[in-house]
Amino acid sequence: MVFAVLLALFFFRAAPLELDGVRTSNAPDQFDTPRAVERLGRVLDGTPHPVDSAALDETRARLLQEIRALGYAPELRAHSVCQAMSGVAARCAFVQNIFFTAGPKDGPALVLAAHYDSVEASPGFGDDGIGLAVWLEVAHHLKREPPSRPVAFLLTDGEETGLLGAQAFVDNQDDYPFTVGRIINLEARGVTGPAMMFETGRPNAALVSDWAKSGARPFSNSMMTAVYELLPNSTDLTVFLNAGFNGVNIAISDGVEFYHTNRDDLAELDRASVQHMGDQALGATRAFLASDWSADASAGDLVYSDIGSRLFVSLPQVFGLVLLGLCFGASAMLLVRPTRSGGWRKLDVRALLLPPSLIVASGIAALALQQAISLFRPDTAFWMAHPQAFNMAIFTLTLLLSALALLRIAPGSSRETLYASGWFWFLIVGMGLSFAVPGFSMIFLIPGLVFVMAGAAAWLLPRFQLIAYSIASLFLALIFFPLIHLLDVTMGLGMAAMFGVIAALVLAPMLAVIGGIGSGKLKVALPLGLVSLVASVLTMIAPAYSIERPLALNFTAHYDIDEGQAAVFAGARAGALPDAIRTQLSVDAHPSPPGAQPGLASKAIAFNPPSPATATVLSDTTADDGKRTIRLQFSAPDARQVRVRIPATDMPLSISFGGAEYPFRINSSEQRIETYVIDIIGRGANGATVEVTLAPKPASSAGKMGWLVQGYWTRLPPDAQKLADARPETAVKIQTGDVSVTTTKLEF
């Protein structure tokens, strides 16, 4: 019975994340979703609108018209800018930021930010049309209720190209008639799901406390924020925070299968997600405007979490760590607690060994299951279309191992020792993670406090022991089962072992509700084994991709100008390709284009390239300190992008573009760099000039340098387009979409 309940709870783990339906009527001070979406439909016409393109010009004109219709006077600021955050790649373009203001002119402003460009393949209704829709509706409200302090709406250009609009704002703050007090940035990594506050400035106490006053259903925890900070992902807020500003980032992240694809359209954009982001953004705007910002730099850090998206709790970071340590101490004491008759209870070593054994076994088993299914599935992401099946296969396998662990490792252990042992290991893992990354502490502390209270209740009222343990288990499930779903949404199931480990970590404290399984109860394991087998078989036979969860598939027609050869390549691995396409291609028939993953399926096409991208050396000078500066001008008629690939052996130090210099990271033995990349994107690529400064080289390494110059066009020749036309409904274009590329070596 307990196993069945756990299966049901896990199956419906996303239920706490379900959003409220769109309101059929709104009070005058409420966010109006239908009006916001209608306005967005007038701004975006369903055409991709990347940086420095004719389509973006048209989008900008419609956006400016909507802003003026709201009673504002928008202004433009144009910049030529590069971004080189990684230190090994610089992306450059011409951007035009839009801003307009509300409220008084004097004093630091609350900056409400989103971006209005898209990637080349996507209409961009989710990313970041949702941000535009929300802020324009908030602007409508601020006309009705003028703010008491300055507000600046900043709609950046070139975010998709490399956060260029945000960088241009930071680099040219004197060009904007407002100063930054706080920032709220809106983003999207999908088309549905709750709007989560997933990133904050540091210290975060004042920001998080004020955000929590928004009045919208809270979706946030400091663990997800800490994880995001460890990942190489970036948004405009990253640039703002690096510049010393303070603020929060709010985004939707479900429906990632349509993220940056041609399916990111108005029909797929979840209206409930628009409403939730709108309620949260409007409420946070009001809360930020009403709060005192003087403590932003001194208020310290909080750890925090929502509970079932209905409650929100936060604590000072140090206090959270101390409380977590006390919970851990309580679990250690319960292992050998004093008995009612005096003395100490004997440690149940078998019960103590059960949780770590289960955690290790579950991680290994989940990895083995993934590898076993991979033997029969050529698709690298075989779970894509039906992730629930693979999720259930991992979870039921972990449940099966839990039953076997109870049977073999601790068959005679009492509920009390199982309870203490499970929570001991849960909390020791939580302590370790939290000391390394303090943001983790709250998601372990909340169930930890319930564990302490339930343990005390069970000790004081032994006949209610099972009820107390069940309450602690349900609370643990309420916190962690939705979290597992969020990890699946944001990271995917590629790391199956991690999901097995997390499931075991959460299940170990719950085994006290089951109690010891004697040898006569082996039949408990049989249904679990059967369910796990069924889920695994379903995972094995189910299609990897569907219309609702499609394969990301681009095609690249590559022309090697120097060799006079051409081929079309499929961007997805051969095993994932639809049969109608895979049968026309061969793996390793042609070397992959420079920078692409090896082993792509391809076939030869006619050598009819567009006018290839070239670079002309305008000057080549060496300074007294031995640094060499090369000035290049590019020619690439009608190209979407020009790329230069520079071998690390040539030791580039920086690039100059648009009157500014951007440094590269120096190669080192700790982090080897093979190639530096410079991208000039948009209509300005044709005729653009850049200067590249190289480090002094010893005379022994002097000689000709060979750089690759590539041009990108967002179209295919007829013979390659015929192959792309075979792309089924279960596949989508993504990021830059289908492109033609020319590659030429520049020697000098």
Q: What is the tens place of the pLDDT at every residue in 37-47?
A: 999 999 999 99
Quick one: pLDDT at residue 378?
Answer: 82
Residue 734, in any domain of the structure: yes
Phi first, then psi: give them for residue 214, nearest 5 degrees.
-65, -25
Quick one: pLDDT at residue 528?
Answer: 85
Give every CB contact of residue 691 below 8 A, 6+ residues apart in sequence.
629, 630, 631, 632, 655, 656, 657
pLDDT tens for each residue of 225-251:
988 888 778 999 999 999 999 999 999
Residue 312, in any domain of the structure: no
Share of the chain above pLDDT 70, in %: 96
Q: Between β-strands 628-635 and 689-694, what pairing exists: parallel, antiparallel or unpaired?
A: antiparallel
Residue where a domain terminates, one of 492, 518, 541? 541
Q: What string of DSSP letters covers 625-643? A: TS-EEEEEEEE-TT-SEEE
Mean pLDDT of 643-654: 93
Residue 338 has pLDDT above 70, yes or no: no
Mean pLDDT of 283-312: 94
Quick one: pLDDT at residue 342?
Answer: 58
Residue 621 has pLDDT above 90, yes or no: yes
Residue 330, token pair as written in the block? 């309580």
Rounded distance between C-alpha atoms, residue 137 and residue 129, angstroms: 12
Please tell me whether residues 248 and 381 are part of one structural domain. Answer: no
CB atoms within 10 A of CB 457: 17
pLDDT tens for each residue of 392-438:
999 999 999 999 998 889 888 889 999 999 999 999 999 999 999 99
Residue 531, in any domain of the structure: yes
Residue 608 has pLDDT above 80, yes or no: yes
Please tell me whether residues 496 and 609 are part of one structural domain. Answer: no
Which SS3 state, helix, strand or coil, does residue 192 take? strand
Please tell me whether residues 331 and 411 are part of one structural domain. Answer: yes
pLDDT tens for each residue of 430-463:
999 999 999 999 999 999 999 999 999 998 898 9
Please tell me whether residues 207 and 303 are part of one structural domain. Answer: yes
Residue 20, in any domain of the structure: no
Residue 17, in any domain of the structure: no
Give every CB contact of residue 467 below 8 A, 6+ residues apart in sequence.
none
pLDDT band at residue 666 using 50, 70 and 90 as cut-offs: confident
Mean pLDDT of 485-501: 92
Please tell me whether residues 537 and 586 are part of one structural domain. Answer: no
Asked whether 251 and 180 are in contact (CB, 8 A), the reply is no
Residue 675 has pLDDT above 60, yes or no: yes
pLDDT tens for each residue of 9-31:
999 999 999 999 999 999 999 99
Please tell me whether residues 592 and 527 are part of one structural domain. Answer: no
CATH number of the CATH domain containing 121 = 3.40.630.10
Please tell me whether residues 213 and 266 are part of one structural domain. Answer: yes
Quick one: pLDDT at residue 525?
Answer: 76
Please tell me whether residues 240 and 378 are part of one structural domain. Answer: no
Residue where a domain terminates, one of 541, 565, 596? 541
Q: What string of DSSP letters covers 675-733? A: EEEEEEESGGGTT-EEEEEE----GGG-S--EEEEEEEES---HHHHHHHTT--TTEE-
pLDDT tens for each residue of 115-159:
999 999 999 999 999 999 999 999 999 999 999 999 999 999 999
Mean pLDDT of 65-88: 93
Give every CB contact of residue 700 below 8 A, 6+ residues apart in sequence.
none
Residue 341 has pLDDT above 70, yes or no: no
10 Å CB burial of residue 626 (0-12, 13-18, 19+) is exposed
Give every CB contact of residue 343 below 8 A, 6+ residues apart in sequence.
none
Please tell me whether residues 276 and 325 are part of one structural domain. Answer: no
| Structural domain containing residue 7 | 2-12+317-541
Asked whether 472 and 420 are in contact (CB, 8 A), the reply is no
**Nearest residue to 55 (alpha-carbon basis) of 116, 135, 143, 145:** 116
Interior CA angle at 447 toward 443 and 451, to 5°? 155
Q: Between β-strands 109-115 and 551-552, what pairing exists: parallel, antiparallel or unpaired?
A: unpaired
Instruction: Give the CA count within 13 Å in the CB-facing half-sphere of 195.
Output: 34
Q: What string of DSSP letters covers 405-454? A: HHHHT-TT--HHHHHHHHHHHHHHHHHHHHHHSGGGHHHHHHHHHHHHHH
Residue 636 has pLDDT above 70, yes or no: yes
Rounded distance between C-alpha atoms, residue 365 and residue 152, angstroms: 53
Residue 514, in any domain of the structure: yes
Quick one: pLDDT at residue 516?
Answer: 63
- CA-CA-CA-CA torsion sign (578, 581, 583, 588): negative
How many domains are there within the chain? 3
- Rounded to the nearest 10°, the torsion over CA 41, 46, 51, 57 is -60
Residue 70, in any domain of the structure: yes
Quick one: pLDDT at residue 212?
Answer: 96
Quick one: pLDDT at residue 519?
Answer: 52
- CA-CA-CA-CA torsion sign (462, 465, 467, 472): positive
Residue 90 has pLDDT above 60, yes or no: yes
Give every CB contact of residue 135 below 8 A, 6+ residues apart in sequence.
112, 114, 153, 155, 186, 281
- Tracing tokens 């410079």 back to the chain, one arrives at 678
Please tell me whether residues 434 and 577 are part of one structural domain. Answer: no
Residue 668 has pLDDT above 70, yes or no: no
- Distance set, CA 743 to CA 212, 235, 571, 681 (Å): 52, 31, 18, 16
DSSP state of 256: G
Please tell me whether residues 425 and 292 are part of one structural domain. Answer: no
pLDDT tens for each residue of 677-723:
999 999 999 999 999 999 998 765 666 789 999 999 999 999 999 99
- Tracing tokens 């009390």 back to the chain, one arrives at 416
Please tell me whether residues 520 and 616 are part of one structural domain. Answer: no
Rounded distance between C-alpha atoms, residue 629 and residue 507, angstroms: 61
Asked whether 248 and 185 are in contact (CB, 8 A), the reply is yes
Quick one: pLDDT at residue 517?
Answer: 61
Mean pLDDT of 621-633: 94
CB atoms within 10 A of CB 522: 12
Phi first, then psi: give them for residue 349, nearest 5 degrees.
-65, -40
pLDDT tens for each residue of 540-591:
999 999 999 999 999 999 999 999 999 999 999 888 999 999 999 999 889 9
Gyration radius (Cα) of the chain, Å:
29
Residue where a domain terminates, one of 307, 327, 344? 307
DSSP state of 25: S
DSSP state of 576: G
| Helix runs in 316-414, H state only | 317-335, 349-376, 387-408
pLDDT band at residue 261 using 50, 70 and 90 as cut-offs: very high
Residue 148, in any domain of the structure: yes
Residue 275 has pLDDT above 70, yes or no: yes
Least confident window among 79-88, 93-102, 574-583? 79-88
